[in-house]
């Protein structure tokens, strides 16, 4: 008998694997934060989460939002971002 790897939905205690992401939104805002890429089997890259259409939102942890009309950034412990508002997203290249 083989052991199956459980998905995030069936195993909420699964260890988080975070990656730093930078996002540009259609309103000109920039977001920096962390994303858990260990949500379910087959998701091991940031691009897997961004282009996946099963979940319409990205969950960003420790997010900093730089709105184009505000001088001071806004910080969120957890931010749920609708993927339809993303122009581009990129991993932080310093994390290898």
* Domain residue spans of the chain: 18-84
Architecture in CATH for domain 18-84: Roll (2.30)
Burial readout 50-64 (b: 16 or more C-beta within 10 A, e: otherwise): beeeeeeebbbeebe
DSSP run (H or E) holding 51:
helix 46-51
Spatial separation of the C-alpha atoms in residues 57 and 79, rounded to whole Å? 10
DSSP run (H or E) holding 59:
strand 57-66
Average pLDDT, the chain: 82
Q: What is the pLDDT of residues 47-81, one digit of tens each?
A: 777 887 788 999 999 999 999 888 999 999 999 99
Taking residues 10-35, report their average pLDDT.
Answer: 86
Taking residues 13-37, report their average pLDDT.
Answer: 90
């Amino acid at each position: 008998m083989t052991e199956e790897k459980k998905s995030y939905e069936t195993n909420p205690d699964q260890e988080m694997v975070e990656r730093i992401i930078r996002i540009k939104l259609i309103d000109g805002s920039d977001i920096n934060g962390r994303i858990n890429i260990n949500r379910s089997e087959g998701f091991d890259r940031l691009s897997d989460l961004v282009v996946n259409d099963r979940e319409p939102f990205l969950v960003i942890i420790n997010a900093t939002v730089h709105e184009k009309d505000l001088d001071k950034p806004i910080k969120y412990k957890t931010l749920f971002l609708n993927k339809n508002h993303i122009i581009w997203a990129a991993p932080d290249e310093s994390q290898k």
